[in-house]
Amino acid sequence: MPFVGEGAFPVDITVGAGLGRRRALDLSTLSAGALLTPQDRFFIRTACPDRLPPTSSWKLRVHGLVEAPMEIALDTLAREAVPQGAHLLECSGNSRNAHFGFMSAAEWTGVRLDRVLERVGRLPRATRVLVSGFDEHSVGDPGSVPGASWIFGFDQVRATGLFLATRMNGAPLARDHGDPVRLVVPGWYGCASIKWVNEIVLVDDEEPPTDHMREYAGRTHQAAVGPRTRASDFRPATVDPAALPVRVEKLGAADGKISYRIVGIVWGGPTPARALGIRFNPRLDLTPVEDVGRADGRTWALWSHRFAPPAPGRHRIELAVSDPTLRTRRLDMGFYAREIEIA
């Protein structure tokens, strides 16, 4: 059954160009045997820049508060790259208008950034690292600012295990997914996972935030922080535990009543959400979801719940995590709620 009240954005079709290129994943196709997203279906937020220099001679420039600047050749990264596991990326601008399809999961291969920084002699003032990617396009987008870069504290680099990815699902990165090298920040919104990385700069705590960080401040929940004159004023752009219905299956009639199976995904947070509740009317109490798959916090798991509607009409599917120790900002505001119409 289709969800209603959502936008007309197409799924599994690439639209637009340059900064405005988009592709949304059809989440209804997810199943227990197909939780990783092939590259040709992985969501796209921005196209590969048409002005990208040849990648055959690509190098990462490392400079700033270091004893001696250096360059790292792409073949050096390729030799040192190791499997980093499966990780989910969600665009911070994911929304109902795109059927929440700006999220995908893949197996990644790469080199942890803290290992790269170990070979650089840092000056004592260096406390943070700025990662930048090439982002010059002939075709712009009214809703985006050119330039992709994010600043991380050294503690965030270690805690997240963020890495420079060179391969995705066992194959070289596709151009729109950051070829030849991109950043992947596990557990953070995709805006921090910079594509086409070409520069790493060591900075101190006085470094101002980048334009890219300012652009995504609202979508990464920075509003309550107060003045943000320094990058160190920004909170981590972490994805809270979340859950979403992706498919509604009409089942056969039992005792004259038709029932439905709601299938969805749960993801986000430092630890998997176990106590997942569901309701089909904002005035009702939450009921525990019947079947919740096991997740590891790095990617998504499936859940399902049987629903026998008491009457025809529109039903709003809302979920919540019944664990007061977990922060669930988007779930709390009904961000991932979806509706179905039962005749």
User: For 333-342, how does the pLDDT look when each residue is reduced to its tens digit (9 = 90+)?
Assistant: 999 999 999 9
Amino acid at 182: R
- With H, G, I as helix, E, B as strand and everything else as coil, classify residue 27: helix
Tell me the per-residue pLDDT of 299-325, one tens digit each, with 9 for 90 and over.
999 999 999 998 899 999 999 998 888
Please list, residue by residue across 53-64, b when 16 or more beta carbons sit within 10 angstroms of its beta carbon and e when fewer do: eeeeebebebeb
- Say if CB 26 and CB 12 are below 8 A apart: yes
The set of long-range contacts for 228-232, using a CB threshold of 8 Å and a minimum separation of 24, is 230/205, 230/206, 231/128, 231/130, 231/151, 231/203, 231/207, 232/127, 232/128, 232/153, 232/205, 232/207
At 145 the pLDDT is 83
Lowest mean pLDDT among 107-121, 213-227, 254-268: 213-227
pLDDT at 44 over 80: yes
- Sheet containing 197-203: which strands, arranged edge to edge? 70-73, 59-64, 197-203, 128-133, 148-153
| Predicted local distance difference test score (pLDDT) of residue 270 | 82
Tell me the percentage of the chain whose pLDDT exceeds 70.
99
pLDDT at 224: 64
Whole-number Å distance between alpha carbons of 329 and 56? 43
Instruction: Dump pLDDT digits (tens) for 122-169.
Output: 999 999 999 999 999 999 888 788 889 999 999 999 999 999 999 999
Tell me if 41 sits within 8 A of 12, measured CB to CB. Answer: yes
Please report how many Cα atoms fall inside a 13 Å half-sphere around the Cα of residue 87, on the Cβ side.
Answer: 25
Q: Which two tokens stand for residue 6?
A: 């959502």
DSSP per residue, 163-209: EEEEEETTEEPPGGGTTT-EEE-TTB-GGGS-SSEEEEEEE-TTPPP
Tokens of 13: 């079709």
Query: What does the alpha-carbon distance between residue 18 and residue 44 come to, in Å, rounded to a whole number?
Result: 11
CA distance 47 to 139: 10
240-249 pLDDT per residue, tens: 999 999 999 9
- DSSP letter for 159, please: H
Q: pTM here? A: 0.95
What does the block give as tokens for 61? 């420039």
Which helix (H) or strand (E) element contains residue 319? strand 313-321
The whole-chain average pLDDT of the chain stands at 94
Residue type, 229: T
- Assess whether pLDDT exceeds 90 at residue 295: no
Q: Give, in order, the Cα–Cα distances in Å from 63 to each of 4, 70, 116, 149, 204.
A: 51, 7, 12, 15, 13
* Banded model confidence at residue 226, pLDDT cuts 50, 70, 90: low
Q: What is the mean pLDDT of residues 203-216?
A: 96
* Terminal-residue alpha carbon distance, the chain: 11
